[in-house]
Amino acid sequence: MTKPITAMGIMILQEEGKLSVDDLVEKHLPEFRGQRLTASREGDTVTLKKPSRAITLRDLLTHTSGLPGGFPPGLADLYATRQRTLAEAVLVSSQQPLDFEPGSKWAYCNAGIDTLGRVIEVVSDQSFEEFLATRVFRPLGMTDTACFPSEQQAPRIAGLYETKNGELVVANRPIVGPATGAKHPIPAGGLYSTAADLAKLYQVMLNAGRLDSTKILSPESVLTMTKVQTGDLPCGFVPGMGFGYGWAVVKEPQGVTAMVSSGTYGHGGAFGTQAWLDPKQDLFVILLIQRVGLQNADGSDLRRELQQLAVEAIKR
């Protein structure tokens, strides 16, 4: 759910002329210069070659960069411990060979979105969390949205649940470590929020970048972010999807998306959380779910049933 908000940060900086989505990543993060591509793997031997081109911010925004989606040994517990800074983690990612030629396919990539968060830091000369707070959350009155909840907010953080023997019980399997004492903001998935705060953000998106008199993005940026930028590449976790900048976009409604319009956009979270915005029907749906064990949260029966109920309620 954090990824589209990170993408909004990039678009804000583009509007200010401080970067372009067509910039090479190495323009802002020199550690990416000379990056290599995995040509072949045979046993313990990996052969590298120079990619046809360097990766761009656009590649990161659309999950088409070829950066490995996971983290190497030694950094595998990055999200669980959160004890490396964003700069440290992105430096390690920059030294990993690409899995495929940039722009040639779609592969969901947390490391790529984290890299965008680091670009925001370098270009804005602010920490990732402070940039979002000053440019998005505070102007919109999103007082319950942060990478690092306060001591007063921490007791309100929702628990995580799973099903055992047919009953819903508390799960003790966190993927993301505690925010207390953390160093890494996790631009790919570290924000805490509430339905009320997210509603303000999604109203901004449906209202061409504004909430009342508060402007966050231009109408042009909103349209650019929320249209398909991946062409005919197979994308997403359910059929009929494309990707914009940070947002999954419905190309052909079907299955769990059958009740929304073509052009609806949104994103899911780690434990079943969903948000989908349908400009044609002028509505958005927020599903706040904290469930371990959903095989595919984007395509789950839970999402289909809840979303269908929400759309039917709107129609009534």
Q: Cα–chain-centroid distance for residue 101?
A: 22
| Residues 284-297: tens digit of each pLDDT | 999 898 888 887 88
Please state the domain extents for the chain.
Answer: 3-129, 230-315
Q: What is the pLDDT along the chain (316 residues), one digit of tens a residue?
A: 999 999 999 999 999 999 999 999 999 999 999 999 999 988 889 999 999 999 999 999 999 999 998 888 888 889 989 999 999 999 999 999 999 999 999 999 999 999 999 999 999 999 999 999 999 999 999 999 999 999 899 899 988 999 899 899 998 766 677 777 889 999 999 999 999 999 999 999 999 999 999 999 999 999 999 999 999 999 999 999 999 999 999 999 999 999 899 999 999 988 889 999 999 999 999 989 888 888 788 998 888 888 788 777 777 7
In which region does residue 42 sit, left (phi positive, over 0), alpha (psi from -120 to 50) or beta (all else)?
beta
Tokens of 38: 């995995």
Q: How many Cβ atoms from other residues are within 10 Å of residue 100's Cβ?
A: 16
Q: Compute φ and ψ for 147, nearest 5 degrees.
A: -75, -30
Secondary structure percentages of the chain, helix, strand, coil, to 5: 35, 15, 50
| Rounded percentage of the chain residues whose pLDDT exceeds 90 | 73
CATH 3.30.70.1450 for domain 3-129: no
What does the block give as tokens for 52?
A: 């046809």
- Mean pLDDT of all residues belonging to the chain: 93
SS3 78: helix
What's the CA gap between 279 and 283, in Å, rounded?
7
Prediction pTM value: 0.94
Largest pairwise CA distance in the chain: 62
Distance separating alpha carbons of residues 143 and 153, to the nearest angstrom: 10
